[in-house]
Chains A and B, each alone.
Chain A
Amino acid sequence: MQQLLNTLLGGLTLGMVYAAFALALVMIWRSTRIVNFAQAPMAMVTTFIALSVIDAGHSYWLGFAAALLSGLVLGAVVERVLVRPVEGGPEINAVILTLGLFIVLHALASVIFGNRFRSFPAPFGVRGIEVGDTTIALTTSGVFTILAVLAVMGLLVLLFRFTDIGLRMRAAAHEPEVARLLGVRVGRMLTLGWALASLVGSLAGLLIASGSLVHPSYMDSVVVYGFVAAVLGGLDSPLGAVLGGLLLGLSLSLVSGYVGSQLVALAALGILVVVLLLRPGGLFAPAAARRV
């Protein structure tokens, strides 16, 4: 019983991170129909920026803020400088572009930050919280992870649902031409969308790194899990991405806890295949009511 609880708690923490990462992928997919394979190295670069700030003697939180801010800027720059010119062209161009960016960022990070493992501090304790006289597998850092992802998701919901800029962003994503006719500066909205998605990706990168080791390729497995989570949710649905992330985190944690940790990657792909066979649109795809 206690093992099950601990496995589920671990899965919940991990699932929140996958959810954040999947959400970043979905935000970009919804607005520009591009699967951003460079999401992982972008988050990796911002995590290294945080590490540089922290290693220079500043506080963890200053590094945290620097990473989120540089994520925002990096997302905007990537959209404006690299993605914009290939927009409207064949879709494969944009895919190849993000794959290329993946490689470039990797190489740059190895050159600038060094191709070795470095330890990344945790904001809070990494020891299990004590409940009564047993210690459960939920650390204070884990609680912070869950709260941070929930907070960011809440802010995004508020932004998209209740603000004018959020309404413009949604319009630009769904019907760019109609949005232009209504006075929306679609290009700016796409830039902003990429910036916010990249910020969410950076957050996921930071949370994975906390209390662990970072390396230029430390995020690479997460892009696979994040992508699986996003596809589970239907790629088009932010809520689906979050639920897909949680589901994946819990499933993988159960696999790791009860079957064997070497099977985790295989299990993720197995889940993906089963879902795509049974519900090709993803588990939480909205009803196909468009294009009437």
Chain B
Amino acid sequence: MLQIRDLTVDYGPVRALAGVSFSAGGGAITAVLGANGAGKTTLLRTVSGLHRAESGTITFDEHRLDRVAAERMPALGLAHVPEGRGVIAELTVEENLRLGGLARGRVSRGELDRVLELFPALADRRSATAHVLSGGERQMLVIGRALMSRPTMLLLDEPSLGLAPRVVAQIFALLRRLVTDEGLGVVLVEQNARSALSVADRGVVLDLGRVVADEPAAVLADDDQLRHAYLGF
């Protein structure tokens, strides 16, 4: 369970988040939606310790995350897949995956095989350098790499960015399966609100650093006024 209370964060001279509170549980997908500049990416970067909050608290299970260094997050069960796909292009597919597993100590062959089974496209190219992968394969690789650390909560920043709708549907279906079957918690930051709400259980809408709605996904999708005002569809 990830709980965010009264989080205020500055990004340079700009107040990116002003008193944001919401929570995201395990076994569910919580979509965080909003226009460009609403503070979505800053929110994830603050949760994972890359950015520090001015005030407010972030708790994950019993841990106060706002005091934990970013490099300790994977050991607590939190994995952050950053925006822009973050593959390490110079490493091979398998090295990228192993790196994800190292956060939990040694990487077992079984762990690697389990993740490669989820992404058959990667299994075929495991010894290829990651820079030859397509956009969709890169997104699969970073999600797979995050899963290697056996997280209980996955933070995903714009996984649909620049991908074909078919690939997005494939990735979202996989997330749904992991959430339902293994009780994984997902915080899904998306600008593409329509497809995010189609897979999410709950939606939190940010506008200029404030939470303007926090509802079950179906309710948000049916609220025409809110959709037009903040989600652009």
Contacts and interface: CB of A to CB of B under 8 A. Distances in A.
Interface in B147-165: 149
Given A181-B48, A182-B149, A185-B71, A174 B90 contact: yes
Interface residues of B, number: 28
B48 A167 contact: no
Interface string A127-171: 000000000000000000000000000000000000010011011
Contacts of A177: 50, 82, 86
Interface residues of A, number: 20
B50 A182 contact: no
Contacts of A167: 91, 95, 98-99, 102
Nearest to B107: A164
B73 interface: yes
19 contacts: A164-B98, A164-B102, A167-B95, A178-B86, A179-B88, A179-B99, A180-B50, A180-B71, A181-B70, A181-B71, A181-B73, A181-B79, A181-B86, A182-B74, A182-B103, A183-B102, A183-B103, A184-B99, A289-B131
* Most chain B CB inside 10 Å of its own CB: which residue of A180, A183, A186, A289: A183
B114 interface: no
B99 A182 contact: yes
Given A167-B99, A175-B86, A182 B145 contact: yes
B71 A183 contact: yes
A164 B104 CA distance: 12
Given A177-B82, A178-B88, A181-B86, 20 more contacts: A164-B107, A167-B95, A167-B98, A168-B99, A168-B102, A170-B95, A171-B91, A174-B88, A177-B50, A178-B82, A180-B71, A181-B70, A181-B74, A182-B99, A182-B103, A183-B73, A184-B71, A289-B89, A289-B132, A290-B90
Nearest to A30: B90
B89 A180 contact: no
A292 interface: yes
A168 B79 CA distance: 17
A182 B82 contact: no
A239 to B, nearest CB: 13
A174 B80 CA distance: 18
B207 to A, nearest CB: 27
Interface string A171-197: 100110111111111100000000000
Interface of B: 48, 50, 70-75, 79-80, 82, 86, 88-91, 95, 98-100, 102-103, 106-107, 131-132, 145, 149
B72 to A, nearest CB: 7
A170 B99 CA distance: 10
A186 B103 CA distance: 13
B82 A181 contact: yes
Nearest to B48: A181
A164 B103 CA distance: 11
Contacts of B79: 181
Contacts of B131: 289-290, 292
A180 B70 contact: yes
Given A182-B103, A182-B145, A292-B131, A171 B82 contact: no
A19 B46 CA distance: 44
A29 to B, nearest CB: 14
Given A181-B70, A183-B74, A170 B86 contact: no
Contacts of B70: 180-181
Nearest to B132: A289
B88 to A, nearest CB: 5
A150 to B, nearest CB: 24
Contacts of B74: 181-183
A182 B150 CA distance: 12
Contact of A183 (B50, B82, B149): B149
Contacts of B89: 174, 289-290, 292
Going nearest first, the 3 A-B pairs with the smallest beta carbon separation are A183-B103, A183-B74, A178-B86
A180 B103 CA distance: 10
B90 A170 contact: yes
